[in-house]
Chains A and B, each alone.
Chain A
């Protein structure tokens, strides 16, 4: 059963190839169904492999399947191979599971798009790359998947390339990720130079031997990998691409920029945990950067007006939690939160997509409100997602976040405090979003009427019967979109079952991957409960504050949405200013002055000199025989004089 593993990436790859060859012919909606079927098949193959893995001895659940040798060079060799272990299977199941649901949703969401089949072509390529990333049996296959998902992210963010902002966002995502990839690549070189291999498993492998590396080397590799992880998982200071990536179609935001791709950095850190264990300083850096990102992004989220931007900053913040967990050694908690986050954040994004769809591409929350009656399924499921991310028991987010905070408390009280403040802010900004979108007075009518008053006035006269379906009227989405919402809502609500305290199903399953490197909680139950209570109080304060400001208050909420926070503390702008200003000036100088006038100028200068010298020398070439004879005679006399003097005849 384990050998079914190759089917997991092969099916989406096959889907990609079929769509490449015949996507246009398949058209809408067949292309979408094919792609969905492939990823669903991949999920089934994952289940089969998973069942096979469960049948094996608990502490020897590590199997390698080699497909072919990819890069042999001297002593260096890298295979295209898959590593089946509890960690990779946990990743595979949630990636393909959530992925299949989002594929299904996209069939409805992308309805009518002229490049419908291209969208699914990219989506299947993404699924393939993501699965290579998590299944790869060595750092380089992980990197192959890593770059592959980056390229797909580029293609999908700029999917609506006619819009300039989408084109710019796609490029920015790719380039920023490449900055992180620099770290990943150098880490690979350093690993090879010090271990002689990039393969994870085996006696000679990375996982067995990374722990024995000298601390400085281990620290170097770990920090360089973290640079890569910070790029892919949008941590400070490389997070800047993710909010912009919201230019992509919403299913892309849900799949790539919330549930799967952005968690790749967390996966990588968990994968190389023996290395981190050998470099405690790296763990400290990771936990601090994670906590800082969590808090920073949460402060940005409170002031966003775009429904997707709130979720984008929220994703950055939640990823920060995961890195915080990694940094304090709570690897299972990180994976647990990654999975529950995939459920509720995918749900929230798809819900947001449903709202945007229903409102005909409106994304500004100031022009929403009161939608819960018009879009009951979307509203109901969105509310489940809200309760899950806010950390209300018994919804999934409560359990996973609580585990991280408990581990943080055990390691460093300040990190815990940052985590609790972030939890409060999370509850606040998510409540704000729910209240603005689904509760309160409907504002989409006035806004729309205000924006295009002429059309609104003119339209009923022409088509009075269609007034109800006029572009301004929100409507519930089709079943292809609502079914995934409901399934994800169930998962977001019940996801905590995966790792309930005391039962710890996920922890027991993943334990062989982390062994004794896993942080052992050493806190009495009483204190654990009190910690949960403190967080709970914070969450309630957050929700109540949002309620007071956005539901009860009649005053404009602007003063609670500082401009500085909306612009994310101006960091992105400063960065753009630097690269657009001095950076570009430098490049311009290099190109126009240094290369154009300096180096090429010197070349042409030499040419001019030679030509000048040549034309002066040419004056001697008169063509008159008498002149030449004179020169020859003169020369002969001089030579004769020279030799006579030398031999001393005179």
Chain B
């Protein structure tokens, strides 16, 4: 038990599960109660995540508020949770994005199972971010697939069954490699030290217990699973289908939270467990990331479906995170972590806005939309701000992450950074072009009567806009809390590989 005297981290996972059970127990006929329980649960989790933010010690680089209960003693598997600067804001993002997605979007049918699945998904996502046990992590990492599969298949659009199946199989295939990696890692660790455990910290800190070549192979096993999840080029094709066909709330959670499972995995497990292998494969992964930045943007520009365009933009934005992660500099990693949060906010907001357009016009075809700014000026204004944030305008949140990533990768991955910066131009191309076609011009008959945002929709967007401006103007409190954990991770990589961070980038006083 932690110093808090309350199992806060466990509660963050258990409360949504209990909420899901409660929703399942409410009779289907009582729709209001179903919704009430669902919304209340997400609000409780949000409050818990804010509590976590408050009690988090920003100067501590290690894992905090740890909770460890033996689960399967024979195999050394434990319910082992902890939070550090890297996972903190992802948990908070999940906690705060959920009420917005649940309140903001009402399902078209069967709200009961819909809410239950969403809450289970929340538990899984938070579980991934908090797990410090490899086996527990794998369970969480896999569990999230099930609710998302049903959400896409049950409440999605168009070719939803194909999209759901593709999403499921793609990710499962990747995870299979990781499972082999986890089991092999635990047994090799046992061979070297005589102790069978799945404890992340124990295995990671016992560097040298595994041969270099073996570690590289194991890293690849993990990397495939994460690369699918990110997704890294060329393993990305499940994403546009899943994101486009998912119901709006599903897209928000998919882009806002679930894509981060991959980039988070790289940071938490890739770099921490296999620092030498991560340094060895870094040029390769960075190359794929940079290809994703350019490729995602080019393909996004040519999309005819607005939602698909936003989906492809994620490929580009996530490419930046991979670049920052494998730059191994304070700015790169810090930028990567904050970019995960910022992408969640901006892209989540974009999906909500596209959902609002769809609700009004029953189409997402760019060619069929025109002049919406005239008909719905507030919607257009909000879209403009979110778009500028996604483009990376300084003063809004998107800039902070992208800038730090590029700044931090320049000293160690110079030419990749130079090429990646082109992505900043391309982001302006695809988003402004889409905006021009959808919002500018004189509206034709079909678009002229499009209603503007109503009060509920404005209330939904308000916190997102506030976050976009706040994190752009004053990211310091967030960056400060991320930095110790990130520095610790870099020091860990430096200690176990021949990599060393250029002096210009390193935190002063560290060397």
A interface, CB within 8 angstroms of B: 68-76, 140, 143-144, 147-148, 151, 154-155, 158, 161-164, 166-168, 170-171, 174-175, 178-179, 181-182, 185-186, 188-190, 192-194, 196, 586-588, 590-592, 595, 599-600, 603, 607
Inside 8 A of A185's CB, which chain B residues have their CB?
403, 406, 421, 424
In whole angstroms, what is the CA distance A212 to B376 when docked? Answer: 55
Tell whether A175 pairs with B429 under 8 Å between CB atoms, given A161-B373, A196-B504. yes
Rounded to whole Å, the gap between the CB of A575 and the closest CB of chain B is: 14
| Inter-subunit contact B410/A182 (CB<8 Å) | no
In whole angstroms, what is the CA distance A11 to B1 when docked? Answer: 53
In whole angstroms, what is the CA distance A147 to B170 when docked? Answer: 40
| Inter-subunit contact A181/B424 (CB<8 Å) | yes
| Inter-subunit contact A71/B505 (CB<8 Å) | no
Residue B192 interfacial (CB < 8 Å): no
In whole angstroms, what is the CA distance A161 to B169 when docked? Answer: 45
Offer 19 A-B interface pairs, CB within 8 angstroms, sorted by A: A70-B473, A70-B475, A71-B403, A71-B404, A72-B476, A73-B407, A74-B330, A75-B506, A76-B505, A161-B440, A163-B442, A185-B403, A185-B406, A186-B418, A189-B410, A591-B299, A591-B301, A595-B299, A607-B166
Give the contact stretch, choosing among B63-71, B151-159, B387-395. B387-395
CB-based nearest B residue for A603:
B237
Of B169, B410, B476, B507, the residue contacting A75 (CB under 8 A) is B507
In whole angstroms, what is the CA distance A71 to B401 when docked? Answer: 10
- Among all A-B residue pairs, the 5 with the closest Cβ atoms: A74-B330, A167-B440, A591-B302, A189-B410, A144-B394
Of A73, A164, A171, A587, the residue contacting B331 (CB under 8 A) is A73
Residue B19 interfacial (CB < 8 Å): no
Tell whether A193 pairs with B483 under 8 Å between CB atoms, given A73-B331, A74-B505, A588-B302. no
Inside 8 A of A164's CB, which chain B residues have their CB?
440-441
Residue B320 interfacial (CB < 8 Å): no
In whole angstroms, what is the CA distance A625 to B439 when docked? Answer: 67
Beyond A70-B474, A73-B404, 4 additional contacts (C-beta under 8 Å) are A74-B505, A178-B428, A182-B425, A587-B302
Inside 8 A of A175's CB, which chain B residues have their CB?
425, 428-429, 432
Contact bitstring B408-430, A, C-beta under 8 A = 1, else 0? 10110000011001101100110
Contact bitstring B316-347, A, C-beta under 8 A = 1, else 0? 00000000000001110011000000000000
Of B238, B410, B476, the residue contacting A193 (CB under 8 A) is B410
| Inter-subunit contact A71/B436 (CB<8 Å) | no
Residue in B303, B331, B400, B483 with the greatest tally of chain A CB atoms within 10 Å: B331
| Inter-subunit contact B483/A73 (CB<8 Å) | yes
Of B329, B428, B429, the residue contacting A74 (CB under 8 A) is B329
| Inter-subunit contact A192/B425 (CB<8 Å) | no
Rounded to whole Å, the gap between the CB of B505 and the closest CB of chain A is: 6
Inside 8 A of B329's CB, which chain A residues have their CB?
74
Number of A-B contacts (CB under 8 A): 159
Of B388, B403, B432, the residue contacting A171 (CB under 8 A) is B432
In whole angstroms, what is the CA distance A588 to B442 when docked? Answer: 27
| Inter-subunit contact A193/B504 (CB<8 Å) | yes
Inside 8 A of B374's CB, which chain A residues have their CB?
161-162
Q: What is the number of residues of chain B that contact chain A, defined by CB distance less than 8 Å?
A: 66
| Inter-subunit contact A74/B436 (CB<8 Å) | no
In whole angstroms, what is the CA distance A178 to B297 when docked? Answer: 15
| Inter-subunit contact A190/B505 (CB<8 Å) | no
In whole angstroms, what is the CA distance A144 to B396 when docked? Answer: 10
Residue B508 interfacial (CB < 8 Å): yes
In whole angstroms, what is the CA distance A144 to B236 when docked? Answer: 33
Contact bitstring B475-504, A, C-beta under 8 A = 1, else 0? 110011001000100000000000000111
Inside 8 A of B170's CB, which chain A residues have their CB?
603
Rounded to whole Å, the gap between the CB of B455 and the closest CB of chain A is: 16
In whole angstroms, what is the CA distance A305 to B311 when docked? Answer: 45
Inside 8 A of A74's CB, which chain B residues have their CB?
329-331, 334, 408, 483, 487, 505-508
Tell whether A182 pairs with B424 under 8 Å between CB atoms, given A74-B334, A189-B410, A193-B411. yes
Residue in A70, A155, A166, A188 with the greatest tally of chain B CB atoms within 10 Å: A70
Residue B234 interfacial (CB < 8 Å): yes
Inside 8 A of A161's CB, which chain B residues have their CB?
373-374, 439-441
Inside 8 A of A68's CB, which chain B residues have their CB?
474, 476
Rounded to whole Å, the gap between the CB of A641 and the closest CB of chain B is: 33
| Inter-subunit contact B441/A174 (CB<8 Å) | no
In whole angstroms, what is the CA distance A71 to B395 when docked? Answer: 11
In whole angstroms, what is the CA distance A71 to B428 when docked? Answer: 23
| Inter-subunit contact B371/A162 (CB<8 Å) | yes
Inside 8 A of A600's CB, which chain B residues have their CB?
237
B156-201 residues with Cβ-Cβ distance < 8 A to A are: 166, 169-170
| Inter-subunit contact B425/A178 (CB<8 Å) | yes
Inside 8 A of A189's CB, which chain B residues have their CB?
406-407, 410, 417, 421
CB-based nearest B residue for A588:
B302
CB-based nearest A residue for B508:
A75
| Inter-subunit contact A168/B480 (CB<8 Å) | no
Residue B295 interfacial (CB < 8 Å): yes
Residue in A72, A170, A592 with the greatest tally of chain B CB atoms within 10 Å: A72
Rounded to whole Å, the gap between the CB of A4 and the closest CB of chain B is: 22
Tell whether A595 pairs with B331 under 8 Å between CB atoms, given A74-B487, A192-B407, A588-B302. no
| Inter-subunit contact B507/A70 (CB<8 Å) | no
Tell whether A607 pairs with B169 under 8 Å between CB atoms, given A73-B331, A189-B407, A595-B237. yes
Rounded to whole Å, the gap between the CB of A149 and the closest CB of chain B is: 11
In whole angstroms, what is the CA distance A147 to B395 when docked? Answer: 9
In whole angstroms, what is the CA distance A166 to B371 when docked? Answer: 13
| Inter-subunit contact A168/B388 (CB<8 Å) | no
Inside 8 A of B433's CB, which chain A residues have their CB?
171
Contact bitstring B276-305, A, C-beta under 8 A = 1, else 0? 000000000000000000010011011100
| Inter-subunit contact B237/A174 (CB<8 Å) | no
Inside 8 A of B330's CB, which chain A residues have their CB?
73-76
| Inter-subunit contact B506/A162 (CB<8 Å) | no
Rounded to whole Å, the gap between the CB of B232 and the closest CB of chain A is: 12
Inside 8 A of A603's CB, which chain B residues have their CB?
166, 170, 237-238
In whole angstroms, what is the CA distance A599 to B505 when docked? Answer: 38
In whole angstroms, what is the CA distance A75 to B503 when docked? Answer: 9
Inside 8 A of B234's CB, which chain A residues have their CB?
599
Of A154, A170, A186, A194, the residue contacting B421 (CB under 8 A) is A186
In whole angstroms, what is the CA distance A189 to B332 when docked? Answer: 12
| Inter-subunit contact B424/A168 (CB<8 Å) | no
Tell whether A587 pairs with B298 under 8 Å between CB atoms, given A71-B475, A595-B237. yes
Inside 8 A of B400's CB, which chain A residues have their CB?
71
| Inter-subunit contact A75/B504 (CB<8 Å) | yes
In whole angstroms, what is the CA distance A192 to B237 when docked? Answer: 37
In whole angstroms, what is the CA distance A167 to B507 when docked? Answer: 45
Tell whether A587 pairs with B418 under 8 Å between CB atoms, given A144-B394, A171-B433, A178-B428. no
In whole angstroms, what is the CA distance A586 to B298 when docked? Answer: 9
Inside 8 A of B303's CB, which chain A residues have their CB?
591
B110-141 residues with Cβ-Cβ distance < 8 A to A are: none
Rounded to whole Å, the gap between the CB of A324 and the closest CB of chain B is: 28
Inside 8 A of A76's CB, which chain B residues have their CB?
330-331, 404, 407, 505
In whole angstroms, what is the CA distance A592 to B388 when docked? Answer: 27
In whole angstroms, what is the CA distance A69 to B480 when docked? Answer: 11
Rounded to whole Å, the gap between the CB of B128 and the closest CB of chain A is: 25
| Inter-subunit contact A167/B441 (CB<8 Å) | yes
Inside 8 A of A194's CB, which chain B residues have their CB?
504
Tell whether A590 pairs with B507 under 8 Å between CB atoms, given A162-B374, A175-B428. no
Of B301, B408, B418, B476, the residue contacting A70 (CB under 8 A) is B476
In whole angstroms, what is the CA distance A232 to B298 when docked? Answer: 24
CB-based nearest B residue for A197:
B504
